[in-house]
Structure 1
């Protein structure tokens, strides 16, 4: 399991789930794809096992240091508070 980032903000996209920001660091050496398994640990101690649904394209004048992504639509914005920690799972959950 590898730490990716701490959630600073969560946005809802109607019909598509929530987007976690800042997202995966650009400097992350391993290529991530849709479906990559994640573990999200909330500040309250809850563990949410999920995956990257899709990466979100953001147009900015300056290059981003992170790439935000969306979670499956069954995970609601209220479930992921700021301060939650996002980890990449190396293996399927046992």
Structure 2
């Protein structure tokens, strides 16, 4: 997986379609971003909106734009996104029949990002990782700092690496 990061400069609400973010996908990057790729947005308080790309806006005669604006699902509005927030687009590498490289390994210490999918803060260690063939991504399972198994699976976009690594 490849992650593209940019700062949101503008948001637009298009009635009947949804919220559009500018600059979106960087023009200067060699990208293979597509509809359905994972996106997360971090504001200045490190609150996270976790979603996917619903559309890619191709605007002609706009060479001054730094990228191709992206459309988010209708459930996310312009009011949900602050100008200046960090946009992270997680590009799924083209699959050649091999599993993509994992962001985390068993034994890595991680923090769970608080977002629409995650309502409970967890700090823990990855105990298992599982490749999901249909969605072409890794799922991770954790034990919290007290040694209890967390019953939820997480994606790389749900996790941040903690400072140190402990071998299992």
Task: Indicate whether the TM-score tops 0.5.
Answer: yes
Asked whether the equivalents of residues 3 and 85 of structure 1 are also in contact (C-alpha less than 8 Å), the reply is: no
Gaps of 5+ in 1: none
Of the two structures, which has the highest relative contact order with CA contacts closer than 8 Å and spacing of 6 or more? Answer: 1
Aligned residues: 94
TM-score (norm 2): 0.50
1:11: how far off? 0.3
Q: Which residue of 1 aligns with 2:57?
A: 56
In structure 2, distance between residues paired with 1:43 and 1:27: 26
* Larger Rg computed on CA atoms: 2
In structure 1, distance between residues paired with 2:138 and 2:74: 21
Aligned 1:1-94 pairs, distance under 5 A: 2-60=3-61, 62=63, 64-89=65-90, 91=137, 94=154
- Tell me which stretches of 4 or more aligned residues in structure 1 moved more than 4 Å: 90-93
SS at match of 1:2: strand
Q: Deviations over 1:40-69 (max 9, x none)?
A: 101232101001100012122636431001
CA RMSD of aligned residues (A): 2.0
Gaps of 5+ in 2: 93-136, 140-153, 155-168
In structure 1, distance between residues paired with 2:138 and 2:76: 19
